[in-house]
Chains A and B, each alone.
Chain A
Amino acid sequence: MKKKILAGILAIGMALSLAACGGSSSGGGSGSAGGSGDSGSGSLTVNIWDANQQAGIQKIADEWSAESGVSVKVEVIDWDNYWTLLEAGVSGGQMPDVFWMHSNTAQMYMENDVLLKLNDYIDKDDAIKKENYYEGVWNLYTRSDGNIYALPKDHDTIALLYNKAIFDKYGVAYPEDSWSWDDVYEAAKAITEGSGGDVYGYALNTSNNQDGWYNFIYDYGAQVITDDHKGTTIGSDEGKAGMEMCRKILSVAAPQSVVAETGTDSLFQSNKCAMITQGSWMINSFFTAEYHEDYAWALMPYGDANGNGQCDDGERYSAYNGLGWAASASTKNPDAAYSLISYFCAEKGQMEQAELGVTMGGMIGVSDAFASAFPGMDVSAFTRIEEEGSLYFRPYTRNTTVWEDALQQAGAFLDAWQTPDDPAVMAQACENAQKIIEDAIANE
């Protein structure tokens, strides 16, 4: 009997420690990541999730250190672990001093007062003026009561990436700024059929909405999340028209099962795919790729919603998103933390960030330098979209991941990705998505 009890206890221990491991082990991990052990005055720990940006961020931070005498250590933690560690850091009281915020989670962090309130600092700081920044990014990090918890670090946009060598091989004209999604469809069809399915004309990253299918919905006049963040029009006729265009392209693009296994960027870089849409945060990965000389960027195509054959106002959209520089409410050195954030976000830091090709700025008008940071590759499509099209801020609500995740599953768009030849499935998926989002918002 004793043995049975022992076995039972061990079984419980084994299984339940799974539940605990997230909390306890990562709590320990964040201790080293947080590094608040070092004296408060002499150093700051900065956490980011993008290794591509580390060198540039560290360089700017070092310049600030030279002025302030406070050293800065920039640590990269990959996206998934970043949030697990940060959350554990909040619960365990060991956060990095300065770190990035993102639209997925900003609401939660701001509502719980775990971020340093910046209002008083901003009022005294001449270098930071609200009107100089992208409105969507600034508003994202402002709580409904007016408290500001992060300053805009950057913004990103989407453009169409194509492989010139594949277009040449199959005798199809290169994408131009005047292309609509119908033109993309024709070109993708010609390449997919011309190669007998060996090369795909187009590939849609179904697990990343921001650089993919969201844009269709806006081109045709619907919204994934309405401006008040309380509803959606994804199931409207406009939303369905947008997703119908998306479906049409999918019917001549790489099958979703292929994309789910290999990823659109890998497909593209292995010369298996002629066109994808990509965000500006990915430029460096293609700029340094093996066949980068074949790659070129075009303006995001427009959705010809009214069918008049030209791009009218509100038919060309790109999602944009912006990270924020935030500080921990429990940092031992709030003045230095704000000073560093201000250095990153003021004009000098923003210009330098663009010149180094780290990202485009969170400040308006500093991004031209970014377009020339990649010699031999024209990336102006990312900055021109702001004059020649419209930007919409990446849709978010309080618990974005809940509905974002559900939209990718069976019962929503996964059904439609699987059967791109059936318009009825896509229309049904839009209606299901409408309900999923509404239910999720109702539960927030």
Chain B
Amino acid sequence: MFDWKWDFTWEVLPRLIHATGNTLIAALAGYAIAVVLGLGLALAQRTPYRPVTLIVREFVEFIRSTPLILQIFFVFYVGPQFGIRLSPWASGMIAIGLHYSCYLSEVYRGGIESVAKGQWEAATALNMTTTQKYRRVIIPQAIPPALAGMGNYLVGIFKDTPMLSVIGVAELIHAANAIGSENYRYLEPYTLVGIIFLAVSLPAAGLIRLFESYVRRKLGL
């Protein structure tokens, strides 16, 4: 290929692979926050208290319709203005976790709404409390139809981690930028980063589909 330097490639690859580790950690940590917080947001939108429902719904709408990169800046810079200093990692995880929790809450909501009305009624006939209904009957059935969407957002969060570079989280793009400016060579680092992203996200999509069918079988659905 045009001007591609293999020795430079081998020289910078270890550094990029190390950064890939950070990228994966950031994605998984952010996702863990989003999975839990998203469920909270989904359930909060189902409470019988109208004002709570409306406020949460508008909040979710707000987060979903504004750019993640701006939210990352907001979390990182606004804290210090009020005397709260957050590390780049902490602010990054908060921002990305919060952002994706709003997407996941919609996925959960769809899953919960896909559970047949008769299931709620059967749970009432067994005299279950609301908590028991969700925990034992509704959520287990809401998860399988939500898995595809949940998987997509896991890959999505991974592809959004480069935004964390703007506040100095040492993930892939951050490393590639550093390599580029140290050596005045951008072809190899940016291309390699692209290949690494492909190498992770393509198999991940396949694995997620396998996992989905495994869960369905496991639950006898």
Partners in one complex: no
- Which of B's residues lie within 8 Å of A, judged by CB? none
- Which of A's residues lie within 8 Å of B, judged by CB? none
